[in-house]
Structure 1
Amino acid sequence: MAVAIKKPDTKDMSTPHWHEQANEIQKYGTVTQDLPLGLSADVRAKSCKALNQLLADSIALRDMYKKHHWQVAGPTFYQLHLLFDKHFEEQVEIVDTIAERVQLLGGVTIAMGGDVAEVTRIARPPRGKEEVPVQISRLLEAHKIIIEECRDIAKQADENGDDGTNDLAVSDVLRANELQAWFIMQHLVDMPLVHAS
């Protein structure tokens, strides 16, 4: 006897199912237990915890660059407007690289603005506009926090045999943040514009 195959209802196939709900498939702060990476779940969990802190701080710095890009004013407006946007785009890449490493290690990334605001170590700037030296000082403080975190993460990862996280912390995040800090700190050097002192 032949089995009748029911054709799908075309009405159901073309209707969006946008009220879907389910439980989380993995809780934040956990790692999957068995991955072929040669790293224990404990080592991966430690790296993910440190990387998620770095990710939250990098997201805060990224967004601060965009805020200052929009709100910068004064004689150096054009240069800083472009520089802040360039640094924002570079931080976008850094954020993505950190997040991918967390996922690769079997963790769950911090992602939403409210969660980032609760976790970041970077002080929140006011909503309003600030003078350029204050904007730059805020950015330098944020870079300092991230640079110190990178060194701590690299050391911990090296001790735990997590070479990928060590390399990411140094090559992808530390060096980029050092370079960005150098670029913006030069705008705080008191140099004459027209006549030599």
Structure 2
Amino acid sequence: MKPSQTTTTITATPKYDQRSVIIQRADQVHSMPIGLSEQACSESCKQLNLILADSIMLYNMYKKHHWQMSGPTFYQLHLLMDKHANEILKTIDLVAERIQTLGGVSIGMPHDIVEITNIERPPKDEEDVPAMLSRLIRAQSTVIDDVRKGIEITERNKDYGTNDMLMSEVLRTHEMHIWFVSEHLVDTPLIGEESNGQRK
């Protein structure tokens, strides 16, 4: 007599009626065998999610200003805004993946980001160029403050992987950006003008 066989029907038809099952709450971390305590991972993830939220806000602000640049330096600033946005996007991915590596949950949806960000919300309207650049510098300074706090937390908890990422990848990127943007706010005369504004 042959043993009974169970036949499983496999179909290529997608199962569209899937329902969400929460497998980990956003404020929890699960154990990862990386030599760090759950508390250390939790503290890192909390700070990293703040960095993530502020970085996503900053990225979108750069794109907004990229589209809305105007005036005699339009082309240069249009390109610079996009370059900085793309570089910030790379750090966003690094931070989000580090949170997951630590056993945490990376935030990413706009409504969640708005709830925790420290960055001032820009107006829907188009501003003058100096105001946009100043706004970017303030926002970028906020991210730098977040990152420096993260460096302190991870140093204290010996989370060296996160510490190295924040110092070598994230902090230096934002510091460089502030330098580049700040130089566009220096009040220097255009070529062919004296310092008092009179033509040569």
Give, in whole Å, the separation in 1 of the partners of 2:8 and 2:30: 38
Give, in whole Å, the separation in 1 of the partners of 2:171 and 2:8: 57
Contiguous gaps of at least 5 residues in structure 1: none
1:16 aligns with 2:14: yes
Aligned match of 1:30: 28
How far is the alpha carbon of 1:72 from its aligned partner? 1.1
Number of residue pairs the alignment of both structures matches: 193
Matched to 1:162, the amino acid is D
Aligned match of 2:152: 155
Matched to 1:72, the amino acid is M
Give, in whole Å, the separation in 1 of the partners of 2:39 and 2:136: 34
Q: Percent identity?
A: 46
Give, in whole Å, the separation in 1 of the partners of 2:108 and 2:61: 16
Aligned match of 2:138: 141
* Aligned counterparts, 1:9-158, within 5 A: 13-33=11-31, 35-158=32-155
Aligned match of 1:189: 186
How far is the alpha carbon of 1:7 from its aligned partner? 5.3
> What TM-score results when the alignment is normalised by the length of structure 1?
0.94
Give, in whole Å, the separation in 2 of the partners of 1:149 and 1:42: 19
How far is the alpha carbon of 1:59 from its aligned partner? 0.4
- Structure 1 stretch displaced more, 159-168 or 52-61: 159-168
Give, in whole Å, the separation in 1 of the partners of 2:101 and 2:51: 16
Contiguous gaps of at least 5 residues in structure 2: 196-200
Aligned match of 1:6: 7
CA displacement, residues 111-152 of structure 1 (integer Å, 9 cap, x when unaligned) = 101111111100110112111111101100011111111111
Matched to 2:21, the amino acid is N
- Structure 1 stretch displaced more, 74-83 or 13-22: 13-22
Matched to 2:39, the amino acid is D
How far is the alpha carbon of 1:2 from its aligned partner? 4.3
Matched to 1:165, the amino acid is T
How far is the alpha carbon of 1:79 from its aligned partner? 0.6
Give, in whole Å, the separation in 2 of the partners of 1:38 and 1:146: 28
Equivalent position SS for 2:187: coil
User: In the superposition, relative to structure 1, how do residues 159 and 7 fare at CA in structure 2: closer, same or farther (>3 Å)?
Assistant: closer
> What TM-score results when the alignment is normalised by the length of structure 2?
0.92
Give, in whole Å, the separation in 1 of the partners of 2:70 and 2:186: 18
Give, in whole Å, the separation in 2 of the partners of 1:72 and 1:19: 45
